[in-house]
Amino acid sequence: SAIIDKQLPVDPKRVILYAVQDMKLTRITGGNCKMIEATSCGGVVIYRGKILALYKSYKNRYEGWVLPKGTVEPGETHIETALREVHEEAGVRATVVKYIGKSHYNFTVPEDIVTKEVHWYLMTADNYHSRPQREEFFVDSGYYKFHEIYHLLRFSNEKQIVEKAYQEYLEMRSQGLWGKQRRV
């Protein structure tokens, strides 16, 4: 899928097209670019009070513990993307309970800054089984207690989303709604 540069003001001679290939943004046409936008979706999967996380290691270099998420594909809804990414990255067939919010962050690719928006969903699973996707350099996965995952997660924006999702889970459970809720 392609992503178009959203620089301001837009100069048609400087619009740059990118393609997502091998989990990297690749410049298709030449020119100078300052910032591009990308959208991903992911899930905070909770089963019996524990939260799913994935450990990423690229070429034996520590990447850290993260939540499953990924890029929206053409024609896909945000919910479809979140469910697909949880299944692809962790081997978990989850069910969406509710939307919990979005996070924003920036990262750089050669010569450019990517501003990313991630839409997050609270999800549930039917068991603790998970299988990390080796092709994406996930080498471990599992379900962890809130205080464990909070300290394991590498990124502060994911810690904030987990905190919000876990509070939603606790509230629903205290009201007897967890596991009985009408799922999105």
> What are 37-77's pLDDT values in tens digits?
889 999 999 999 999 999 988 876 667 899 999 999 999 99
134 vs 61, which has greater pLDDT?
134
Query: Which of 39, 70, 38 lies closest to 54 in space, CA to CA?
Result: 70
Quickly count: other Cβ atoms within 10 Å of residue 73's Cβ.
Answer: 12
Query: Which of 5, 149, 137 lies closest to 59 in space, CA to CA?
Result: 137
Query: Which of 1, 6, 116, 92 lies closest to 44 in space, CA to CA?
Result: 92
pLDDT at 62: 66
pLDDT at 34: 63
Q: Which of 59-63, 105-109, 115-119 has the highest mean pLDDT?
A: 115-119
- Three-state SS string over 46-97 comes to EECCEEEEEEEEECCEEEEEECCEEECCCCCCHHHHHHHHHHHHHCCCCEEE
Question: Which percentage of the chain shows pLDDT scores above 90?
Answer: 59
Element (H, E) at 142: strand 138-144
pLDDT at 24: 47
pLDDT at 5: 41
**Does position 21 have pLDDT exceeding 80, yes or no?**
no
d(Cα 115, Cα 134) in Å, to the nearest integer? 26
d(Cα 184, Cα 169) in Å, to the nearest integer? 15
pTM for the whole structure: 0.77
